[in-house]
Structure 1
Amino acid sequence: MPAHGKHRRPRTSRLARHLVAAGTGTAALALPVLGAATATAAPAAELPAAAAAAPAKKAPATYSVVAGDSLSAIAAAHSLEGGWQKLYQDNRRAVGANPSLIHPGLELTVGGKAATKAKAPAKPAAERADRSEKRTAPVAQQAEAAPKTYSDDLDGWIKESLDIMAQHGIPGSYDGIYRNIMRESSGNPLAINNWDSNAAKGTPSKGLLQVIDPTFQAYHVPGTSTDSYDPVANITAACNYAADRYGSIDNVNGPY
């Protein structure tokens, strides 16, 4: 018999050793792992439906004050809900403490609050303490303001009346008051009408804005004199009446 030769196992490559033959039945096909799995990008996040559908807010309008304007007249012209009080509240920083004093060129926001300046960052505690030590007067003394004084003439009477009106929320401007005073009394606080229908009824018109006694008593402003000839009391009562009847003394351009 011929001699049996030694059977040698054929050499296989390293790649082949990692392969499993493919066949039928239960045999499975396996491939070598050649690299890391490819990552797939995550779908972009979608905006919430409510945010996508939200309508853009309408920006409030702005108005530049001209001579003869008043908050009540501006509010009425723009059909502003809440009237001059709402307009004043939204523009309090720009207008100041007296809503009756608005000047030409002043920019007002109509229908929304005016933008406010961003607050400056707080000073470090050490710096605040240092500045506090440099104060020369106690806080209580600094808070005490000297009483405001007014000249005893038509200009002073109008300005004092405007300050009192501001405290009571009564609208009106310097120009509106002055215009009506000059028509009604020419600036004479002791003027009296003894010839019209009111005089015939026993209630003559008196003072700077020619107010009859029943109207003066009905619209008298607390803190002012009860004498209808008193210039400041006469002006504030008349402006209070005009605000109730016409919206403001600024809207009065004839007998009222």
Structure 2
Amino acid sequence: MPAKGKHRRPKSSPFSRGIAAAGTGGAVLALPVLGATDAAAAQPAAVAQPAAAPATYVVVAGDSLSKIAREHSLSGGWKKLYEDNRATLGDDPAMIRPGLKLTLGGKSAAGPAQKAGADSGRADRSERDNASAAEPAVAPAKKSYTNDLDGWIKESLDILAQHGIPASYEGIHRNIMRESSGNPLATNNWDSNAAAGTPSKGLLQVIDPTFAAYRLPGTSMDSFDPVANITAACNYAADRYGSIDNVNGPY
């Protein structure tokens, strides 16, 4: 029996601890063991993706800079969109109109739905509200009328409606045909008004004092102007008879 002695753990060198033995039949191959750090270093570096090119947007009816910036989640809001397209829009951001091509910057990394926290949500809403308030509204297209008796009557009816003055197309047309036969330059030089120096003028034969008293704001100061003449006469007829529709003879 061998003598008792202390059993010592054989020393191993740092080099041997980093080696693994692999058997291949009777031979032994020494393979290096990669640590975690070495393995990570061996991984290929991530390839950076190129930034997306700016997109192009064609303006449609009803668009505004703030609406476009909001719908496309543009970083910087409508102000940045305006600056990026100043060469197209000029010095007035309200000059946006259908058909214009605008360059859109990259979308913000996190849209409103991805922002966490009540404070950030409130700040985002506040920014959108401020942008909407600052964005000049696009004026609606002005209604057009034909430059004839039909157009003059229709424009007059719209103005009268704004002032709450009752009148109908038939009532106005009927009295115009009796008074002037539809001639906006008609002048009466033979009746008592003409003898007094204030001849009746225009489509509804209004004398100057009546025209001055009943002309509606925003209409021409020329009593021969068809719309100004019609609206002044209808205002006078409404004051005296309730409506031009109630007039069926000289008034």
More RCO (CA 8 Å, sep 6+): 1
TM-score if structure 2 supplies the norm length? Answer: 0.46
More helix by share: 2
